[in-house]
Amino acid sequence: MSARKEALAILTACRVRGAWADAALNTHLKGLSPADAGLCSRIVYGVIQNETLLDFYLSGFCSQKLDHLQPPLADILRMGAYQILFLDRVPDNAAVHTSVELVKEAGRGQAAGLVNAVLRRLCREKEALPAIPSRDEAKYLSIRYSHPKWLVKRLLALLGREGTEAFLRSNNRQPPTVAQVNTCRCSAEEAAASLEAEGVRVEKHPWLPDCLLLQGTGNLERLKAFRDGFLYIQDPAARLAALAAGLGSRVLDVCAAPGGKSFAAAIARGDKGEIVSCDLHENKLRRIQAGAARLGLSSIRTEAADGRIFREEWRDAFDLVLVDAPCSGLGILRKKPDIRRKRADSLFTLPVVQSAILENAAHYVRPGGTLLYATCTILPEENEVVTGAFLGTHPEFSRERFFLPEPIGQAEGQITLWPHLHETDGFYICRMTRRV
């Protein structure tokens, strides 16, 4: 019961206190066995990823509306339904029984009969579930893949039906754990050998150098390869952004936390020169400092700074300025399924902030230097529209062609990466050069 009990506590924290699932999991998994931790994680992410679909099916078997049920009954039903419909390794009777016990432990014993009846009916009829209405294309896809309808509509306009469905489907798959090798400390082969010695399954990334795909890591901090600074966790898309940026002896990372692109830049340059990594918040700066120390990177220096506020001492001072701007995060839905709960109107102000940071960061690029703008979203209004507007008012800057490893290859100044096409996070990269 411990895995399911902790899963319920995490889902409650997300719903009631607005906690992020990944952060809550880090807190709640510490006392669980590896097997229980794995089950707890799978239930939490599975329920959040499939919530709309689970609610659709449950509503057909429950006499009461789910949002009218007293907490935490709705989440207990969702957890039971997820196990019945998606986890083949969990017997149906176990999913029902443990859900009923959770109801009793939560002090809702009077509802045990309701939960038992709904889930048992779901077990009986799971091979003949009600069809999702398909007349409204956006509504169908929204329910089928549990994404907000406003986002589905936006994607249909961008990608069409086939591309939209492929993107939505990819967001409901479990992404791999991807590690970048710290080549200042070891080779990819040495990192892989250290990981395998501790029981981690390791594959080389099929096309990205010094990149490893990991399975069975458990708690990363227990691994000697991690403690010794042989690697850091970073999606291929963020690594590609660092590759697109190129090298420079003096680098400014404007919105650096948690530090991955600063680490990549330092490693690419053999830990030479200077990298200034900025963030508004001291706790995030401490995280960057801790990561750099673990990796043994001495070229990284942290600074508390607001990317929108001009610093005269930085004018024309950097060969390379990185702007990984705050964004909607719609490219990382497979890792942070909680993001799909965002409302469309919460995103309206983001381009204003992004434009302000980009505008300010441009002052810090020396003549002949590089300005790289990136986001982990796929919406043009946060990407191409922002950089296009910037270039329209800054003729001294122009997009510059860059090259990424095959099969991606050449990009004409900008590129959007998609999980269903590139097996990366959804990510936008734009490289601009300031004329001499």
pLDDT digits (tens, 9 = 90+) for 402-423: 999 999 999 999 999 999 999 9
Amino acid code (one letter) for 41: S
d(CA 378, CA 375): 8
d(CA 355, CA 359): 6
Active-site entry in 14, 186, 211, 376: 376
CATH architecture of 2-128: Orthogonal Bundle (1.10)
Whole-number percent of the chain with pLDDT over 70: 100
Across the chain, mean pLDDT equals 95
376 part of the active site: yes
Cβ-proximal residues to 408 (8 Å cutoff; 6+ apart), any chain: 240, 415, 417, 422
- Region of poorest pLDDT, from 67-76, 283-292, 390-399: 67-76
**Across the strands, what pairs with 177?**
214
How confident is the model at residue 279, as a pLDDT? 95
Q: Where in the chain is the domain with CATH 3.40.50.150?
A: 236-434
pLDDT grade for 63, boundaries at 50, 70 and 90: confident
Q: How far apart are the first and last CA of the chain?
A: 65
How confident is the model at residue 1, as a pLDDT? 55
> Dihedral, CA atoms, 424, 418, 425, 6, nearest 10 degrees?
-110
Domain 177-233 sits in CATH 2.60.120.260: no
Q: Where in the chain is the domain with CATH 3.30.70.1170?
A: 177-233
The hierarchical CATH code for the domain 236-434 is 3.40.50.150
Q: Where in the chain is the domain with CATH 1.10.940.10?
A: 2-128
pTM for this prediction: 0.94
